[in-house]
Amino acid sequence: MRVAVLGCGYVGLVAAACLAELGHDVICVDTDREKVEFLDRGESLIHEEYLPEILARHHGKRLFFSWDLKEAVHQSLVVIIAVGTPANESGDADLSYVETATREIAIALNSHKIIVEKSTVPVQTSAWIQRSMVLNGCSASDFDVVSNPEFLREGTAVTDFLYPDRIIVGSRSERAATLMRQLYSKLMDGSYSAQAGAIPAPTDAASVPLYLDTSPETSELIKHASNAFLAMKISFINAVSVIAEATGADIEDVRVGIGSDKRIGHRFLRAGIGYGGSCFPKDVSAFQAIAASCGTDFKLLQEVRQVNEDQLTRFVAMVRKALWNVKGKKVAVLGLAFKSDTDDVRESPAIKVIRELLEQECQICAYDPAAMERTRALLKDSIIYAADPYSAMNDADALLILTEWKEFSALDLTRVRGLMKYPIVIDGRNLYSAEQMREAGLNYYSIGRPPVEVVHPLPVRANVAKIS
Q: Which amino acid is at 73?
A: V
What contacts 299, CB < 8 A, 6 or more positions away? none
Q: Which amino acid is at 43?
A: E
Given 18, 279, 362, 365, which residue is catalytic?
Answer: 279
Q: d(Cα 442, Cα 425) in Å, to the nearest integer? A: 7
For residue 54, what are the β-bridge partners? none
Helix 372-379 and helix 349-359, axial crossing angle in degrees, nearest 10: 40
Q: Which helix H or strand E contains 25, and what residues bound it?
A: strand 25-29
Long-range contacts of 431-439 (CB under 8 A, 24+ apart): 431/401, 431/404, 437/413, 439/413
| CB 122 within 8 Å of CB 13 | no
Q: Count the residues in the chain.
A: 468
| CB 78 within 8 Å of CB 4 | yes
Q: Any idea what the Cα angle at residue 228 is, between residues 226 and 232, rounded to 5°? A: 115
Question: What are the C-alpha distances in Å from 28 to residues 35, 59, 76, 119?
Answer: 11, 11, 11, 15
What contacts 134, CB < 8 A, 6 or more positions away? 140
Q: Which helix H or strand E contains 366, and what residues bound it?
A: strand 363-367
Q: d(Cα 157, Cα 10) in Å, to the nearest integer? A: 9
Question: What are the C-alpha distances in Å from 399 to residues 245, 314, 390, 427?
Answer: 20, 17, 10, 8
Q: Is 279 a catalytic residue?
A: yes
Q: Where does residue 363 fall: left (phi above 0), alpha (psi -120 to 50 degrees), or beta otherwise?
A: beta
| CB 357 within 8 Å of CB 384 | no
Per-residue buried b or exposed e for 14-28, using 16+ beta carbons within 10 Å of the residue's own CB: bbbbbbbbbebbbbb
Decide: residue 292, CB within 10 A, 0-12 exposed, 13-18 middle, 19+ buried: middle
> Mind telling me the catalytic residues?
279
